[in-house]
């Protein structure tokens, strides 16, 4: 299937690693020009090099999207490299304000909640304000926001993160309605556990606490066997699993998918929708 992405310009936030990197690689393979983004310039450049190595086109824009200043730097670099953006993937996120761990309801201060909202939700709003009005004026565009299974199935251990991810799913719908009949679609993808640095940090700390072997594949299976996040598939996700779904949503072929939230979790979510 030709996804008709050749020549489309895509900014993938947080593509210096993990799921964002997976999305960037798949879109590049489909012919899109990629703006790789992260805070770490070296790692972002490595991903851009990996894209060039497969014959793709890539540029780098760096900046902390939890701040207005960082976002301004990303906006300026993106404009300088490619002019406008046709496909915006709002992927950055995490639990950094909670110290990288899960946090907890009465452990997380209002500052942690604010930081978590900045990283997972407000960062995406900054990019939407910067790039989406021009998509609407051109009559074509795609916005894909990365949430999480926790956005619809919250846990008390990660309350702030789950609430921020619920906000991502919610604002996706209001933005799709704001952009009605404009040619710009807006959707959410919600990964389950996916083997990235973020997830491997969890496997490492669990593995050390439980005395599991160091092999990450073994730790992944042991983690699944705990039954906290049961899964209908034999493994958890890989970044390019998410990339394949995103590529279809980003394609002109995905034109009739709008305001939706797609789970991509190998059957992890214990729900019928
Ligand atoms: N992995 C999972 O199991 C899982 C499950 C559900 C949802 N998700 C969601 O998927 C998305 C990607 O997660 P991941 O596992 O791929 O994470 P990751 O491996 O930790 O990568 C995070 C990426 O986001 C960038 N980033 C984070 N905060 C940033 C900020 N404030 N400003 C600019 N860049 C920032 C990082 O850039 P630098 O490193 O260059 O700073 C990095 O490129 C997140 O939204 C996460 O919540 C992940």
Q: What is the pLDDT of residues 147-206, one digit of tens each?
A: 999 999 999 989 999 999 999 999 999 999 999 999 999 999 999 999 999 889 889 988
Domain 9-192+238-255 has CATH 3.40.50.12660: no
Say what the pLDDT of residue 19 is.
98
68-105 confidence digits (pLDDT tens): 999 999 999 999 999 999 999 999 999 888 887 777 89
Nearest to 142 by CA among 33, 259, 41: 259
For residue 233, pLDDT over 90 is answered with: yes
Per the CB < 8 A criterion, the answer to whether 273 and 199 are in contact is no
Average pLDDT value for residue range 206-222: 94
245-272 confidence digits (pLDDT tens): 999 999 999 999 999 999 999 999 877 7
Q: In the chain, what percentage of residues exceed pLDDT 90?
A: 89
* 135/202: higher pLDDT: 135
Say what the pLDDT of residue 255 is.
98
Does the beta carbon of 20 sit less than 6 angstroms from any atom of ligand 1? yes
Distance 96 CA to ligand 1 centre (A): 10
Atom 20 of ligand 1: nearest residue by CA position: 198
Say what the pLDDT of residue 99 is.
83
Per the CB < 8 A criterion, the answer to whether 145 and 186 are in contact is yes
Average pLDDT value for residue range 53-66: 98
Atom of ligand 1 nearest to the CA of 197: 19
Distance 17 CA to ligand 1 centre (A): 7
For residue 27, pLDDT over 80 is answered with: yes
Catalytic residues: 161
Say what the pLDDT of residue 98 is.
87
Q: In the chain, what percentage of residues exceed pLDDT 70?
A: 100
Distance 219 CA to ligand 1 centre (A): 21
Say what the pLDDT of residue 100 is.
74
**Arithmetic mean of pLDDT over the chain:** 96
For residue 229, pLDDT over 90 is answered with: no
Output the DSSP codes for the chain.
-----TT-EEEETTTTSHHHHHHHHHHHHTT-EEEEEES-HHHHHHHHHHHHHTT-EEEEEE--TTSHHHHHHHHHHHHHHHSS-SEEEE----SGGGTTS---TTTS-HHHHHHHHIIIIIHHHHHHHHHHHHHHHHT-EEEEEE--GGGTS--GGGHHHHHHHHHHHHHHHHHHHHTTTTTEEEEEEEE-SB-SHHHHHHHHHHHHHHT--S-HHHHHHHHHHTTSS--SSSS-B-HHHHHHHHHHHHSGGGTT--S-EEEESSS-S-S--
Which residues of the chain does CATH 3.40.50.720 include?
9-192+238-255
Nearest to 229 by CA among 198, 262, 265: 265
Atom of ligand 1 nearest to the CA of 118: 31
Say what the pLDDT of residue 240 is.
98
């Amino acid at each position: 299937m030709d996804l008709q992405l050749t020549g489309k310009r895509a900014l993938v936030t947080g593509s210096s690693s993990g799921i964002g990197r997976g999305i960037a690689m798949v879109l590049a393979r489909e012919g899109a020009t990629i703006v790789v983004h992260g805070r770490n310039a070296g790692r972002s450049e490595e991903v851009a090099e990996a894209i060039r190595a497969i014959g793709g086109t890539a540029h780098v824009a760096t900046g902390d999207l939890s701040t207005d200043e960082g976002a301004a730097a990303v906006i300026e670099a993106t404009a300088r490299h490619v002019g406008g953006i046709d496909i915006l993937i709002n992927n950055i996120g995490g639990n950094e304000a909670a110290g990288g761990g899960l946090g907890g309801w009465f452990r997380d201060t209002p500052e942690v909640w604010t930081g978590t909202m900045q990283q997972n939700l407000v960062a995406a709003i900054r990019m939407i304000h910067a790039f989406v009005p021009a998509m609407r004026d051109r009559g074509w565009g795609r916005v894909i926001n990365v949430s999480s299974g926790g956005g619809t199935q919250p846990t008390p251990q990660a309350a702030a993160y789950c609430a921020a991810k619920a906000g991502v799913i919610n604002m996706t719908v209001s933005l799709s309605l704001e952009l009605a009949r404009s040619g710009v679609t807006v959707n959410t993808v919600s990964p389950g556990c996916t083997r990235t640095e973020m997830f491997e940090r969890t496997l490492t700390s669990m593995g050390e606490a439980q005395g599991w072997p160091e092999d990450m594949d073994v730790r992944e299976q042991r983690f699944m066997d705990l039954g906290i996040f049961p899964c209908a598939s034999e493994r958890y996700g890989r970044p390019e699993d998410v990339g394949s779904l995103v590529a279809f949503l980003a394609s002109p072929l995905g034109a009739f998918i709008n305001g939706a939230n797609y789970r991509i979790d190998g059957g992890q979510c214990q729900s019928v929708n």
